């Protein structure tokens, strides 16, 4: 202290005092400012969670239980995560119309904001992957060729090589991916809805997920050779058309060829009917 007092008349003392004052002010401001922001964020999140809880109690709790703990009809959603809520609700699968083998895609009755509210509520119960941001599902600069390899390795068995979907056991099915948004595809891989296995970030990295999405989106724009897509389900429809249409036509031709024809001139008046 004594050394400071001794140097208070030093020519640099004024600059030092100003610099010190600025540092103190800056530290105080940033500390107070960030404290204010971090105090505001939980408040906003709390509102969202509260809104989500209200929506959940209205529309979901009859099956999943008032506290999302699950009932005999529906599983517990504790630990399901926001991504699972987003996939199920944005594709219209939840709320389910009925208890069946498979919940089919239908127009969603909820707005994007409402779905995010419910997702925030479910996420607040603990665990589960979050909803990816728009940048996380962007296909800009994605490696479509790698996406094709990953898709044909891990997805095509159920969804078909062009994403047209396919049948599973006991009335379940792998839905077509023709209407799925990138976020829905991403959240489906992340959460493994219904019978679909989970493709977590450890096995399929976020970048690889974007590559797969890019392949699925690109494939939709591919032209169809011959003009007819035949549903793009591959050999099933093509075989059906070949057997029923093609062979049926050939059988009709063969019947026509072997049928006895009318001979109007030589007295045979009959004709096979």
Partner 1 sequence: MSEIEEPGGPAEPVEPPEPGVPRRVIGTPSPTPVSVDVEEKPAQPPVVTDPPDKAHASRAEKLVAFLFVLAFVAGCGFIAAYVGLEVGSDRLPAGANPVDAVFRSNLALGLSLSVVLLSLGLGSMIWVRHLTPDQEIVEERHDLQSTPAERAAFQKEFAEGAALSQVTKRPLLRRTLLLATAPLALAPLVLLRDLGPLPGTSLRTTVWRKGLRAVTLGGLRPLRPSDMDTPGEMITVIPEGFQDNPDALAKAGVILIKFAPGQMSWPDRYEGGTLVASMNWTIDNIVAYSKICTHVGCPVALYEQTTHHILCPCHQSTFDAANGAWVIFGPAPRPLPQLPLMLDSDGYLAAASDFTQPVGPSFWERG
Interacting residues with partner 1 (CB under 8 A): 146, 149-150, 153-154, 157-158, 166, 168-170, 172, 192, 194-200, 202-205, 208, 222-227, 254-255, 257-261, 263-273
> What is the torsional sign of CA 160, 163, 169, 170?
negative
Distances (CA, A) of 123 to 43, 58, 86, 171, 229: 16, 18, 11, 31, 41
Residue 186: closest CA among 162, 164, 207:
207
Distances (CA, A) of 2 to 6, 9, 20: 6, 13, 18
Residue 44 Cβ vs partner 1, minimum distance, rounded to whole Å? 29
92 vs 234 by CB, closer to partner 1: 234
Kindly report the length of the chain. Answer: 273
Q: How crowded is residue 213: how many other Cβ atoms within 10 Å of its Cβ?
A: 26
Residue 237 Cβ vs partner 1, minimum distance, rounded to whole Å? 15
Radius of gyration of the chain (CA): 32
121 vs 199 by CB, closer to partner 1: 199
48 vs 233 by CB, closer to partner 1: 233
Residue 165 Cβ vs partner 1, minimum distance, rounded to whole Å? 12
Distances (CA, A) of 23 to 28, 31, 53, 133: 8, 12, 45, 37
Contacts of 182 (CB under 8 A, 6+ apart): 137, 138, 139, 213, 217
Residue 108: closest CA among 132, 137, 130, 86:
86
111 vs 273 by CB, closer to partner 1: 273
Residue 82 Cβ vs partner 1, minimum distance, rounded to whole Å? 15
Residue 186 Cβ vs partner 1, minimum distance, rounded to whole Å? 15
Residue 192 Cβ vs partner 1, minimum distance, rounded to whole Å? 5
51 vs 192 by CB, closer to partner 1: 192
8 A C-beta contact, residue 186 and residue 134: no
Residue 270 Cβ vs partner 1, minimum distance, rounded to whole Å? 6
49 vs 142 by CB, closer to partner 1: 142
158 vs 230 by CB, closer to partner 1: 158
179 vs 255 by CB, closer to partner 1: 255
> What is the torsional sign of CA 111, 197, 170, 79?
negative
Residue 258 Cβ vs partner 1, minimum distance, rounded to whole Å? 6
DSSP classification of residue 174: E
């Amino acid at each position: 202290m004594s050394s400071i007092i001794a140097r208070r008349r030093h020519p640099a003392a004024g600059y030092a005092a100003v610099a010190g004052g600025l540092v103190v002010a800056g530290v105080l401001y940033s500390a107070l400012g960030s404290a204010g922001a971090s105090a505001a964020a939980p408040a906003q999140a709390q509102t969202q969670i509260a809104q989500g809880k209200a929506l959940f109690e209205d529309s979901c709790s009859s099956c999943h239980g008032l506290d999302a703990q699950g009932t005999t009809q529906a599983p517990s959603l504790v630990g399901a995560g926001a991504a699972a809520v987003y996939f199920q609700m944005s594709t219209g699968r939840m709320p389910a119309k009925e208890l069946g083998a498979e919940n089919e895609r239908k127009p969603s009755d909820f707005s994007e904001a409402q779905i995010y509210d419910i997702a925030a509520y479910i996420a607040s119960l603990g665990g589960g992957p979050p909803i990816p941001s728009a940048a996380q599902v962007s296909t800009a600069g994605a490696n479509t060729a790698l996406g094709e390899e990953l898709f044909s390795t891990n997805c095509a068995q159920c969804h078909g090589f062009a994403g047209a979907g396919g049948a599973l056991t006991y009335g379940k099915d792998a839905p077509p991916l023709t209407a799925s948004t990138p976020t829905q595809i991403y959240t489906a891989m992340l959460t493994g809805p219904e019978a679909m296995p989970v493709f977590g970030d450890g096995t399929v990295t976020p970048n690889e997920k974007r590559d797969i999405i890019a392949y699925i989106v690109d494939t939709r724009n591919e032209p169809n050779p011959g003009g007819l897509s035949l549903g793009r389900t591959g050999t099933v429809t093509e075989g059906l058309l070949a057997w029923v249409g093609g062979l049926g036509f050939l059988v009709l031709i063969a019947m026509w060829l072997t049928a006895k024809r009318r001979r109007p001139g030589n007295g045979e008046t009959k004709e096979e009917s």
